[in-house]
A and B are shown apart, each in its own frame.
Chain A
Amino acid sequence: MKLSKEELTEVSQYLFTLTRYQETYDELYDHVLSILEEREGPFDSRLIPELVNDNFGGHEQILKNEAISLEELNLSSGGLLMKETFSKLSAFKSFDNISLLCLCLVFYSQMTYGVFNPVFLIYAMFFAALYPILVYLYRTYFVNRSLVKPSMKNVFLLRIGLYGCFLSTAFYLLLLSPQRLFDITNYTRTVICLVLYYFSSIYIRSFHAFYKKKIKVFA
C-alpha cells in the first residue's frame, strides 16, 4: 500500500511513543513502513499496534531490547576506549609520549623552584575529564540538533564524561585540594599532579582517536 502524508504522520506519531532513543526509533519506523508498503489493501490505523505487537513483541519488549542494545554499546565502546588508552600507554617510546614526559619534567623542575603553579595541571586534568561532556554538548546541540530523541551514542559520551568528572573530583578532594582529606606533603602533591596530568593527556588523545573511529562514523 502507498501511504499518504497524513498516514505517515500517524505511523510516526504512534511509533514515537514506543522508543527512548533515536537509533531504535529510526529502525522501527523504517521496518514498520517497509511492512506496510508491501501489504495490499487500504491503510487502517489499527494495523500499527498489531504489527508492533506481532513483530516486535510490544512496547515493553521494545524497551527491554533498547536497554540491551544500550548496554552492548556501552560495553563495546567502553572496551574500545580502554583498548585505545592501553595502546597509547604501551607505545611508551612514541614521539607524543616522550614529548609529554619531557613536558612533565620541565613542569617538575619549574615547580620545585616554585616558578610554576600546579593548579594549572589540575585545570588540565579537569578539562580532560570534561572533554567527553563538551563533545556530548556539541553533538547534542549542533551535530544532532535535528534529532527528536536522544541518541544512544551521545548517552554513552555523557556517561563516560560523568565518570571522568567523578574520578577527577575524587582525586581533587582526596589528594590535591588545599583542604584535602589525606595529609600529604607539597612535594607528593606535585608528583601526583604530574602523574595525573600525564595520564589525562594520554586519555584525551585516546578519547579523540576513539571518537574519530567509533562515534563520528555513527553520526
Chain B
Amino acid sequence: MAISNELFKGTLQTIILHLLSENERMYGYEITQKVKSVTQGELLLKEGALYPALHKLEAAGLLETSTEIVDNRLRKYYALSKDGKAEVLNKLQEARDFIQNLQLLLNLKPSY
C-alpha cells in the first residue's frame, strides 16, 4: 500500500537530513532512489517536492553543495553543513516524539 503524500510533507526535511547524515553526499535522483529502496517502494518521493525542500535546506545553511561533471553533465551533490549536522539530531528527536504521541493518540502498536 502506497503512503499518502500528505503524510510525507511534514517529515520530508527530516528524511533528507537523516539520509545525508548516513551518506557523505548525495544527489537528487540518488535520494529518491534511496527512499524507494529503503521503504521497498512504499514511499515515492516526488522530485517536485524534493528539490524545493533541498533548496530550502541549502538556503537555510543546513546543506552545502558541490558540483561535478559526470557523464558530460553537471551533477549537484548535497551534503550536511556543520549546522546541518547539529540540526539532524534535533529533527530526529522531534520526529521520534511526534511518532510516540501519534501512537498514543491513534492507539497504534508497533508492527515489529
Contact = CB atoms under 8 A, between A and B. Distances in A.
Interface in A68-107: 68-69, 72-73, 75-76
Interface in A1-56: 23-24, 26-27, 29-31, 33-35, 55-56
Task: Label chain A's interface by main secondary structure.
Answer: helix
Most buried by A among B27, B55, B70, B75: B55
Contacts of B76: 23, 26-27, 30
B38 interface: no
Given A61-B48, A72-B59, A76-B60, A33 B28 contact: no
A76 B60 CA distance: 7
Contacts, number: 57
B59 A75 contact: yes
Contacts of A150: none
B29 interface: yes
A55 B75 contact: no
A23 B58 CA distance: 13
Contacts of A26: 67, 73-74, 76
Size range of the chain B interface in the assembly = 20 to 34
Given A26-B73, A65-B52, A218-B65, A31 B47 contact: yes
Interface of B: 27-29, 46-48, 51-52, 55-56, 58-61, 65, 67, 70-71, 73-76
15 contacts: A24-B51, A30-B28, A30-B29, A30-B75, A31-B29, A35-B29, A65-B51, A65-B52, A68-B56, A69-B55, A72-B56, A72-B58, A73-B55, A75-B59, A76-B60
